[in-house]
Structure 1
Amino acid sequence: MRAETIFTGGRIHTGDPALPRTHALAVSAGRIAALGDAALALRDEGTDTVDLDGGALLPSFGDGHVHPLLGAIGLRGVPVRDCTSVEQVVAAVRDWARRHPEAEWITGDAVDPSLAEGGLFDARLLDAAVPDRPVLLRTMDHHTGWANSEALRRAGYGPDTPQPVGGEIVRRPDGSPLGTLREFGALNPVLALVPPRPLAEQVTALRETTAALAAAGLTWLQDAWVEPAQVDTWLAAVAEQDLPVRAGLALLLEPDGWRERLPRLAADRDRVEAAGRGRLSARAVKFFADGVIESGTAALLEPYSDCPHSHGVANWTGAELAEAVTAVDALGFQPHIHAIGDHGVRIALDAVEAAARRNGQRARRPVIAHVQLVHPDDLPRFAELGVIANFEPLWAQTDPLMTELTLPRLGPDRGSRQYQIAALLRGGTRVSFGSDWPVTRYEPLAGLATAVTRQTPDGLPDGGWLPEERIGLTEALAAYSAGVAHQAFEEAEWGVLRPGLRADLVHLATDPYAVPAGELASIEVAGTWLGGRRTHGGPPGGDRSTR
């Protein structure tokens, strides 16, 4: 056997405890052929050599919870993500509407919910910018919407509209809708009125986004919210040409009429398997157990500290969630459950336990995503039930969302029990990392820095927030690689660098073990390879290699 490509000239971190580091790696036919001196022995005159130039080669990153299509489409509207005040958001809406007179709806994604006091946004501010067309903006967590009066009118929301199941129309003292819509029960009737983007535009947006994700070192994604029409977009994208990533699609299942939707889930899985060209799978089903703490909709066991009459919003009853999870589990799907509050986490664990009891033991690898607040009694249940805890490590810091909205809602005791990554790892829980982009940044290196330091990008607080929950760099890297590969049922394919596995690789310009943890986010991703094919880095149309 000869090597098609050899990587050398830097440190190679394999992620494999049996051989953590080496100095060379050989690739042949898209697979890792050999490591160390055995790799160098496979070089001949036809072998390309990639000089790591003093940097490091690692297993590529995976993202265990991301929304590439949702984010790609949402961010093509009003650019509000970087606005730092309500006034800036309103100005951006006014300017975008002026430049797009043809747009029937004005939409935008990723408003910072901490910009408005209490996360409450007023329709009248948007009315002053656009009085005659509907406007709907979504906060970065996608659980809250900010609508103008025309959007509220078209949805039929008025003073006498009853509160929807699984959502809240926030009202003024006189009963009229304020303009803030919380959770999908309130959001979906408005979203249903927004015209969908043309398929070709969606495919273009998805290609742009997956290229950006590949440039961050990612080769596998869990699209954690896929509706039927979005399956068509993914399939259209892979039919035209290879994407720079592989993806698993988590098909959304909502509480209303869920039993009738099961045949569609199975049919969508089958057509993805048939037409996905080995790049796509659809073996997971997404559930929302609850909302988010910052908007007061995460389901809590005890009332919110700032709202003693409210426990938040459980999108499913415990019994109904258990029945639905058991049903999709019986069909061979992997449950992927959004659960943020301690009640949401508990009913998610209960549902997994019910499925195992009813359907018998198997390697189901259920995922509970976000895991922000867990009751101490429930921590050991993750390992006992084989549940994967998927964290978005960038959230484990004292940013304004945490200090201005979350901590006041939880109070000091519950506030000190958030994102217990280290505690779950110590208890034997399998952990994967993700970004939840477009909620927060998709770059794994930024997430690594936060997981290791529990600090903001400015290095605050000194020593880290809840420092007992900091984890080591090796553990954090594993959560972004081997942990996600395990979640994907692909640990025999990628996640560590070992002969025979797929050559899914990331070249970092600087060895992450050689810099202070606070500087991890600034490391350049010099190259990404999917199955031995470069998807990022190098000169246009070629590879940065020599013969």
Structure 2
Amino acid sequence: MTESTAPQSEHRTVLLRGGEVHSPADPFATAMVVEKGRVAWVGSEGAADAFATGVDEVVDLEGALVTPAFTDAHVHTTSTGLALTGLDLSAAASLAEALRLVREYGAAHPAAGQVLLGHGWDATRWPEQRPPSRAELDEASGGRPLYLPRVDVHSAVVTTALLDLVPGVTGLAGFHPDAPLTGAAHHAVRAAAHGAVTPAQRRAAQRAALSRAASLGIGSIHECAGPEISDEADFTSLLALSRAEPGPRVVGYWAEQVTDEKDARRIRELGASGAAGDLFVDGSLGSHTACLHAPYADAPTTTGSAHLDAAAVAAHVTACTRAGLQAGFHAIGDAALSAVVDGVRAAADRLGLDRIRAARHRIEHAEMFTPETIAAFAEFGLTASVQPAFDAAWGGEEGMYAQRLGAERARTLNPYAALLRAGVPLAFGSDSPVTPLDPWGTVRAAAFHRTPEHRISVRAAFTAHTRGGWRAVGQDDAGVLVPGAPADYAVWRTGALIVQAPDDRVARWSTDPRSGTPGLPDLGPGAELPECVRTVVGGHTVFEGPNG
């Protein structure tokens, strides 16, 4: 891709030509004009000649594809950066390998007293089928404080030295002498571990995460923060960084319950767009803490953990709606989703259905639907902020979901086709660092869901990961390349484009140009994912790759 040497600026007028522009305004567009940070025109190569002498800059796309930038609707930015720069156990194939990685990381970071942070272990993938014991971690870490959350971040294994930094932790709910910590005990050790991160380390981690997002064509992220998973300093520093430096847009959510206007005002003063995100109604399936109507198949004495009931949900939604604030919750299990819809229904009875729908409240993860909860999501206009990579990682007949729930219940999870048929708004994200930032991989995971009846078209998945994220924050004129929209776009090197026929159940392909639908890359099994060569946010280039 060639261009003039002047850097792209929000105030410059730029013509991009000689490629493919993914735009509903013109499905055959090969050129685009950006002016003052917004899309000014899209059209054909021939018509672009009229702009060539009146712009500040001309970019020859050399056949590249231009799409709206992705929005990742659920990210933990600092944790993502710490995983990128710290101890990553996601690739460990066994308990022995995980312990080896801990030893090597500790040796490479010898600072005395420094808390070691890691992420990503998943014992369901290991032949040993168990997490490391405290004694094994004490030995591998050399007796240093070590915090290792499970891949879902709802439980953690730690060393004795870290427990020693948390007075009273042994008396908290969720403490287990030699098993992963959950609940209040986990929250306490996580606060101690993250409290040891210096402002400089935190800023470096945030920059690393935002840089990684930009390199993948992500133009916006929704930071899902809150008092149980981060702290106010982390949240406000991230928002300040996103305002001060070029990079992806950051929309912040703070997961704290609201009961009155005073609470709502405090949420706004933090800079949050809503009292939403990971406001926990339950936990996770992997940690046996997602709240179920029937017990776990592999833990028949438990149905998980319920943190908020329908009454608490109703109070939060009512207070937020009255204050003009977006509300939201983390809810995964079928019992948790039932509590959410019962609570939202009670709020609608108090305030009226129209006010609830207009507020665009959102639910994070929302995996274990029933037909009744799907219908309720549609009725109340609740956005399902979901992560297709979860199914890719843990779905299927032999996956973690089937281990936890049994194959029959596992097959009901993440029913994207049914949600779309019902009219439920979808916004796609990663929950990074739970699963990696990987937008095209996310689109592929939704289109090739492990349960075929839940598959959606590539086009629908792409929309959920671009325009869907903007709609989830109440902005309907963005996430699409049409005149007047924000100039948030990515440029890709990719193979031939194809048009997928709309079908809610299975993947069918069409290359007929008469369809009048802009094409997208082939994401079928074995196909190489597109390579991002440039990401632009509001007219500013925030990433440029070596092949750009």
TM-score normalized with structure 2 length? 0.85
Task: Work out whether residues 394 and 401 of structure 2, in 8 Å CA contact, stay in contact via their aligned partners in 1.
Answer: no
State the AA in 2 paired with 1:366. H
- CA gap of 1:201–1:150, structure 2 versus 1, over 3 A, is closer
- Residue aligning to 2:512: none
Deviation at 1:331, TM superposition (A): 2.4
- Residue aligning to 2:199: 199
2:351 is aligned with 1:359: yes
- Residue aligning to 1:151: 162
- Residue aligning to 1:462: none
Deviation at 1:137, TM superposition (A): 0.7
- CA gap of 1:445–1:436, structure 2 versus 1, over 3 A, is same
Task: Work out whether residues 119 and 405 of structure 1, in 8 Å CA contact, stay in contact via their aligned partners in 2.
Answer: no
- Residue aligning to 2:371: 376
Deviation at 1:104, TM superposition (A): 3.6
- Residue aligning to 2:325: 333
Match of residue 109, structure 1, among 101, 119, 125: 119
Q: How many residues align?
A: 502
Distance in 2 separating the partners of 1:237 and 1:409: 40
Q: How is 1:84-233 mapped onto 2 (pairs within 5 angstroms)?
A: 84-98=93-107, 99-115=109-125, 120-130=131-141, 132-155=143-166, 161=170, 164=173, 168-170=174-176, 177-182=177-182, 184-194=183-193, 195-226=195-226, 227-233=231-237
- CA gap of 1:77–1:470, structure 2 versus 1, over 3 A, is same
- Residue aligning to 1:460: none
Distance in 1 separating the partners of 2:481 and 2:341: 33
Q: How is 1:396-411 mapped onto 2 (pairs within 5 angstroms)?
A: 396-397=391-392, 399=394, 403-411=398-406
State the AA in 1 paired with 2:423. G
Distance in 1 separating the partners of 2:202 and 2:525: 36
- Residue aligning to 1:461: none
- CA gap of 1:525–1:45, structure 2 versus 1, over 3 A, is same
* Greater Cα shift, 140-149 or 513-522: 513-522
- CA gap of 1:47–1:106, structure 2 versus 1, over 3 A, is closer
| 1:240-276 alpha-carbon deviations (Å, 9 max, x no partner) | x32311111110226xxx759x74662352353xxxx
Deviation at 1:314, TM superposition (A): 1.2
Deviation at 1:340, TM superposition (A): 0.9
SS across alignment from 1:397: helix
Deviation at 1:156, TM superposition (A): 5.3
TM-score normalized with structure 1 length? 0.85
The answer for unaligned runs of 5 or more in structure 2 is 1-10, 499-520
* Greater Cα shift, 56-65 or 70-79: 70-79
* Greater Cα shift, 22-31 or 263-272: 263-272
2:454 is aligned with 1:481: no
Task: Work out whether residues 365 and 388 of structure 1, in 8 Å CA contact, stay in contact via their aligned partners in 2.
Answer: yes
Distance in 2 separating the partners of 1:3 and 1:443: 31
State the AA in 2 paired with 1:188. H
- Residue aligning to 1:282: 273
- CA gap of 1:269–1:126, structure 2 versus 1, over 3 A, is same
Match of residue 394, structure 1, among 366, 389, 393: 389
Distance in 2 separating the partners of 1:231 and 1:482: 25
Distance in 1 separating the partners of 2:91 and 2:146: 18
Distance in 2 separating the partners of 1:142 and 1:149: 19
- CA gap of 1:162–1:470, structure 2 versus 1, over 3 A, is same
- Residue aligning to 1:51: 60
Deviation at 1:520, TM superposition (A): 5.5
Deviation at 1:525, TM superposition (A): 1.0
Task: Work out whether residues 38 and 484 of structure 2, in 8 Å CA contact, stay in contact via their aligned partners in 1.
Answer: yes
Task: Work out whether residues 199 and 233 of structure 1, in 8 Å CA contact, stay in contact via their aligned partners in 2.
Answer: no
Distance in 1 separating the partners of 2:104 and 2:344: 48
Distance in 2 separating the partners of 1:72 and 1:263: 33
Match of residue 302, structure 2, among 303, 307, 310: 310
- CA gap of 1:238–1:222, structure 2 versus 1, over 3 A, is closer
| 1:276-316 alpha-carbon deviations (Å, 9 max, x no partner) | xxxxx533423111111122110011111222221111111
- Residue aligning to 2:425: 430
Deviation at 1:154, TM superposition (A): 4.4
SS across alignment from 2:347: helix
* Greater Cα shift, 475-484 or 505-514: 505-514
- CA gap of 1:144–1:25, structure 2 versus 1, over 3 A, is same
Task: Work out whether residues 449 and 520 of structure 1, in 8 Å CA contact, stay in contact via their aligned partners in 2.
Answer: no
Distance in 1 separating the partners of 2:492 and 2:93: 32
2:246 is aligned with 1:251: no
- CA gap of 1:441–1:538, structure 2 versus 1, over 3 A, is closer
Distance in 2 separating the partners of 1:324 and 1:268: 13
Deviation at 1:334, TM superposition (A): 1.2
- Residue aligning to 2:479: 495
Distance in 2 separating the partners of 1:431 and 1:296: 26
Distance in 1 separating the partners of 2:330 and 2:302: 20
- Which consecutive aligned stretches of 4+ in structure 1 deviate over 6 angstroms post-superposition? none
- CA gap of 1:516–1:432, structure 2 versus 1, over 3 A, is closer
State the AA in 1 paired with 2:287. S
SS across alignment from 1:517: coil
Distance in 2 separating the partners of 1:346 and 1:132: 44
Deviation at 1:130, TM superposition (A): 3.3
State the AA in 2 paired with 1:80. L
- CA gap of 1:28–1:313, structure 2 versus 1, over 3 A, is same
- CA gap of 1:345–1:119, structure 2 versus 1, over 3 A, is farther
- CA gap of 1:288–1:333, structure 2 versus 1, over 3 A, is same
Deviation at 1:341, TM superposition (A): 0.6
The answer for unaligned runs of 5 or more in structure 1 is 171-176, 273-280, 455-464
Give me the identity figure in percent.
28
Match of residue 408, structure 2, among 405, 413, 422: 413
Deviation at 1:420, TM superposition (A): 0.2
Distance in 1 separating the partners of 2:326 and 2:196: 29
Match of residue 522, structure 1, among 521, 524, 529: 529
Deviation at 1:152, TM superposition (A): 3.6
Distance in 1 separating the partners of 2:389 and 2:49: 39
State the AA in 1 paired with 2:452. P
Task: Work out whether residues 3 and 26 of structure 1, in 8 Å CA contact, stay in contact via their aligned partners in 2.
Answer: no
2:76 is aligned with 1:67: yes
Distance in 2 separating the partners of 1:318 and 1:271: 27
Distance in 2 separating the partners of 1:300 and 1:28: 51
- Residue aligning to 1:278: none
Deviation at 1:46, TM superposition (A): 4.4
Match of residue 451, structure 1, among 433, 446, 454: 446
